[in-house]
Amino acid sequence: MKNLSLTLLFAVAAALSSVAAAGPKVLASVHPLALVAASVTPADDLSVLVPMGMTPHDFSLRPSDVGRIRDADIIFWNGPDAEPYLAAFTERWPDKTWLDVSVTPEDGHEHAGHEHEEHEHDAHAATGHDAEEGDDDGHDHGHHDPHWWLSPLQMIDAQARLAAALGVSSGEFATAMQQQIELSRSQLEPYRDRGFFVFHRAYDRWVELMGLNQVGAFTVSPEQKPGLKTLQHMREQLLQGEVVCVFTEPEFSPAVVDSLLRGLDINRGELDPMAANIAIEPQGYVNYMQDLTRRFSECLGD
């Protein structure tokens, strides 16, 4: 009986210790943001809303997802412009900590989707041409790239804000990221003048930071198919030798790419904006930047 009492006592003590040690529950909206969050969030306290194999472009909330939002203490997300399906919950549960990574230090509480004009111009210049993919009128219709996790500088700031919300140190994340940025720039420097196409406009901020020559994209977003004039223009650029590499993405059919490249000897690579092959661990986001650098180097350098 005495041994049984001690066993029960130890079990209760362990349970209480486990509860006491549990920290705030962090819900990252997408896998790449979970890579950032993992640098300061214990694995048991971190979960991801959008499941693997799905993108924010085709995601819709299920009742179980609403429950996960309700149970989280901190929601680490891309803001109302990029993830409108979460926006209503900021008013429904204002007591939660909503960390919008689209907010920059310059913005204060303004969303970075409404950045200053010079920032829009720089990101636009990174695309290599004026027309928005899928629009045949040749005009820019104000596209704002919602893939905030592909801005390493933005993620350094977002990670620091998450660490502050958790009440912990941000650790060596900023230092590791600055080192990785410099390493990536150095590795990609020989290929800065080599033109390439991406499948959709997810990489503008990364391209701008690395100083790369993104000549164009098949589409602004996967929901919007490229227009005939866009494809004709891209074919002309390929024939003129302006492009050495075309990137596809694992989530979308490469049929339009296959058709455009038919009969041409052009390098092909694959980019995954959702970072599905990168494990969620403390160094996960740095690993993602390394992987992205490798993919660009291999396709542009052949």
Q: Does any domain span residue 238? A: yes
Q: Does any domain span residue 6? A: no
Tell me the average pLDDT across 137-141: 36
Domain count within the chain? 1
* Between 71 and 6, residue with greater pLDDT: 71
Residue type, 75: I
Tokens of 213: 């020559």
Q: Does any domain span residue 5? A: no
Q: Does any domain span residue 47? A: yes
Q: Does any domain span residue 143? A: yes
Tell me the average pLDDT across 106-111: 49
37-48 pLDDT per residue, tens? 999 999 999 999
Q: Please give the residue range of the domain that contains residue 76.
A: 23-301
248-257 pLDDT per residue, tens? 998 777 888 9
Q: Does any domain span residue 66? A: yes
Percent with pLDDT over 70 in the chain: 79
Instruction: Read off the pTM.
Output: 0.82
Q: Does any domain span residue 8? A: no
Neighbours of 206 (CB within 10 A): 25
Residue 23 burial by Cβ neighbours in a 10 Å radius (0-12, 13-18, 19+): middle
N-to-C CA span, the chain: 74
Tell me the average pLDDT across 31-56: 94
Mean pLDDT lowest for which of 65-69, 126-130, 215-219, 279-283? 126-130
The total number of residues shown for the chain amounts to 302
204-242 pLDDT per residue, tens? 999 999 999 999 999 877 767 788 898 999 999 999 999
The CATH number of whichever domain residue 58 belongs to comes to 3.40.50.1980
Residue 128 zone, left/alpha/beta (φ > 0; ψ -120 to 50; rest)? left
